[in-house]
Amino acid sequence: MLSIIIPSYRDPLLHKTIESVLENAKGEIEVIAVLDGYWPIAPIKQDPRVRVIHLGKNRGMREAINAGVALSRGEFIMRTDEHCMFGEGFDVILTKDCQPDWIVTARRYFLDTVKWEVMDMPYVDYEKLVIQTAGYTKKFTGIPWEERAKERAGIPIDETMAMQGSMWVMSHEWWNKVIGELETEGYGPMYQDSHEMVFKTWQAGGKLMVNKNTWFAHKHVSFPRTHSYGNTDYLPNLKYAHDLWRPYYDEVKKKWRI
């Protein structure tokens, strides 16, 4: 079974995201909507595959994901943002070939949240992990890796260096063994979670993979953000993640030859 955790804070698109999951899943799933200290105006869809967790107060994305994973029952776990659409059979495709030491994401399209359809824009398969300036500090960021995409276009499941973090799958055992939980001390409530998981996975000998046999679409940045975790001073969190992982990243770059 695949447990699909959806951390949510005041995003009305949560309902459409859940509907897309339920309509396109072809295997055994459970959907765990984690309401981060709020109740939606419209009730969550009644379906035996859907469970709702309400956190007593706004605790942030990282703790919302941790709470969902802690109560999940699947052999595999998946996290998705609350404003995403999915390809038919995404659950079976992503878990079928997922190795015990992998984190897997899928081909990423861009979602028009008003029309609720995939936008006519190039998709993203590979991302390169780079360091960018953010205020007075630096931060890790994944950017589309077009050169690798062209060179390895014919490989359906392949290793990549970074992911957006809006959708991933891994075995529950790998989470327990390697991730444990998303840390909040230093990192804060919501940022750099994908990089934390990928660095820990690499250190443990695992891989980050992209499965091009299926897809998801994530809300395009041209549409306004409808969620906030109340963390206005996030630069110290970005600095913490950068300073913690920069020495290891400098070693990783040698492998990727960037």
Q: β-strands 76-80, 207-219: how paired?
A: unpaired
pLDDT surpasses 80 at 64: yes
- Tell me the average pLDDT across 111-130: 97
Using the Cα atoms of residue 50, residue 53, residue 54 and residue 57 in order, give the sign of their dihedral.
Answer: negative
- Tell me the average pLDDT across 46-64: 95
Evaluate if pTM is beyond 0.85. Answer: yes
Let me know how long the chain is: 258
Spatial distance between the Cα atoms of 193 and 196, rounded to a whole number of angstroms: 5
Q: What is the percent of the chain where pLDDT is above 70?
A: 96
pLDDT band at 234 (very low <50, low <70, confident <90, very high): confident
Q: What is the pLDDT of residue 165?
A: 92
Q: What is the pLDDT of residue 232?
A: 52
What are the pLDDT digits (tens) for 163-189?
999 999 999 999 999 999 999 999 999
Q: What is the pLDDT of residue 225?
A: 63
pLDDT surpasses 90 at 116: yes
pLDDT band at 220 (very low <50, low <70, confident <90, very high): confident
pLDDT surpasses 70 at 230: no
The beta strands (E) that lie in the chain are given as 2-8, 29-36, 50-55, 76-80, 84-86, 102-112, 117-118, 127-134, 137-144, 157-159, 167-171, 207-219
Identify the top-confidence range among 39-48, 124-133, 215-224. 124-133
- Tell me the average pLDDT across 1-29: 97
What are the pLDDT digits (tens) for 183-211?
999 999 989 999 999 999 999 999 999 99
pLDDT band at 223 (very low <50, low <70, confident <90, very high): low
CA 79 vs CA 65, 98, 131, 167, 190: distances in Å: 7, 15, 24, 5, 14
Spatial distance between the Cα atoms of 139 and 192, rounded to a whole number of angstroms: 8
Non-local CB neighbours of 72 within 8 Å, separated by 6+ positions: 3, 5, 30, 32, 172
* DSSP designation for 207: E
- Tell me the average pLDDT across 32-38: 95
Spatial distance between the Cα atoms of 194 and 35, rounded to a whole number of angstroms: 21
- Tell me the average pLDDT across 83-100: 98
The beta strands (E) that lie in 93-135 are given as 102-112, 117-118, 127-134
The token pair at 198 is 């990928």
**Under 8 Å between Cβ of 157 and 212:** yes
When the pLDDT of each residue in the chain is averaged and rounded to a whole number, the result is 94
Q: What are the chain's domains?
A: 2-222+229-256 (3.90.550.10)
